[in-house]
Chain A
């Protein structure tokens, strides 16, 4: 099946710093990538949708200047959490969709902001 990777798997940073998370589709071209956020014991919440070569579409309530998304190629999307604060600590998961309808999910990135 299709494989999606995320890097890093875990990151701890100080408050005020920026963190970049990469999402890669390893064996298919992802025309659309999605970024989700998951708080403990809660389900996934979609943050934004990105199509290769165009600006990301953010869900209501998600600050686009805080969560910068770049989808520069058909196999790579990045999420940068700028000026991170403890409340940004969460589990971030990306997914990728190719020509078919199914989404394939990355393993997630655990962000802890001290």
Chain B
């Protein structure tokens, strides 16, 4: 059974800092890995999707890396802003599907202080 873990559970940083969020998964035979953002009481916004054949994806100040062999992914946020405050979730599809049913980590709650 795939298990997804995110560390840290919560993170508070001053504005402008670069930061890294970590995601690990127990079964490395994944099809892809997706990072999401969730604002309080809201749904999810997809940030980045990394295919299993890729090592990283970039979108603006966000960079996500994937190391399948070690079962890890990181989300790097450059020059953090108060608007980045949210919960960040990583998710991987179940092995027998190609990108459908997702297993989510518990999330990292990020607070960026002005």
Contacts and interface: CB of A to CB of B under 8 A. Distances in A.
A102 B34 CA distance: 8
A57 to B, nearest CB: 9
A59 B69 CA distance: 28
A6 B105 contact: no
Contacts of A46: 101-103
Given A32-B100, A43-B89, A97-B100, A105 B44 contact: yes
A44 interface: yes
Nearest to A97: B100
Secondary structure of the A contact surface, majority rule? strand
Given A32-B100, A49-B101, A97-B100, A102 B46 contact: yes
Nearest to A4: B43
Contacts of B34: 102-103
Given A49-B101, A97-B99, A101-B49, A42 B106 contact: yes
Contacts of A108: 41-43
A23 to B, nearest CB: 10
B106 A107 contact: no
B89 to A, nearest CB: 6
B36 interface: yes
Interface in A77-114: 91, 93, 95, 97, 101-108, 110
A97 B89 CA distance: 18
